[in-house]
Chains A and B, each alone.
Chain A
């Protein structure tokens, strides 16, 4: 098997090349710029349904960026399918992981707001603005 390492080094990475690297760089840059534009629009918006749509769009763009980094920069797209599956299939656990935990967090908040009146009152208190303290620290 010793000679096979060199042969693997030869065989791999048929796809790609400089052209692909620059193409992916441009895609990643553009996606980041769109994210920033969306961020600034969200900054101008008030709390509400609109903000949730922008957040959803940002998450989709984030996943697209992750895809381009993993598929092209990390070359996963050019590996054998069986090897790709050993990486991707375990990661599908995240679907359950995210849905279950965020759902739990949400229902925990709802229950607290429904049954713990003290908690609701405390979370309505305004925070005193301290400007003096920060200067002392500096």
Chain B
């Protein structure tokens, strides 16, 4: 570990934070851990149901549309969802850069990268809105599943139930992440963190935002790839 204790008293003897992490940030970590279990429970429920079912719709057929795919007449699997994935990765990168600028107490830099992160989040939400609208028009919704199994047999509605529940829950996290980032941006622009003397709040918002990206890694794999 790079952070070493030079005092003669030990880490746990009092007078300092034994984890060397500020209280709010530590609690954000524990919140994210509990949120991991929530998402984990949803995804494992999905997996269990999938393992308990004969046949399952082929994601490469279901999710092969993108805007203009009808005009071009060329459905392609994975195209749209990989765009969404890259949007989220890039917005995660801009968030790290915002945190990085925060360490240097650079107000303008933090504001710039927060704006980029918010744009990324909104772009992702727009993509998801398009996809949901598209699937709804194809006849898919909670309790309705127009897509047959990969072998052409009758599918259950579990496929669309889990898809809309889990991507919806993730989308809700993205939405709240965007709201948090907007609040952070307002606070940055009003100079709240400069007066406070540190940008730790940006780090906490950043942790949440990276978690949203992290969950998408799992959702993307479980629903679109395998």
Contacts and interface: CB of A to CB of B under 8 A. Distances in A.
A36 B139 contact: no
Interface in B79-106: 82, 85-86, 89, 92-93, 95-97, 100, 103
Interface stretch (B142-150, B164-172, B184-192): B142-150
B82 A36 contact: yes
Interface string B202-226: 0100110011011001100100111
Interface residues of A, number: 74
Interface in A33-61: 35-36, 38-40, 42-43, 47, 55, 58-59
Given A105-B51, A123-B154, A80 B20 contact: yes
Interface of B: 1-3, 11, 15-22, 26, 29-30, 33, 36, 40, 44-45, 47-55, 60, 77-78, 82, 85-86, 89, 92-93, 95-97, 100, 103, 136-139, 146, 148-150, 152-155, 197-200, 203, 206-207, 210-211, 213-214, 217-218, 221, 224-226
Interface of A: 1, 4-6, 8-9, 11-18, 21, 25, 28-29, 32, 35-36, 38-40, 42-43, 47, 55, 58-59, 62, 65-66, 69-70, 73-75, 78-83, 86-87, 90-91, 94, 97-98, 101-102, 104-106, 108-109, 112-113, 119-120, 122-127, 129-130, 133-134, 137-138
Nearest 4 pairs of A and B residues by beta carbon: A105-B51, A127-B148, A105-B48, A83-B19
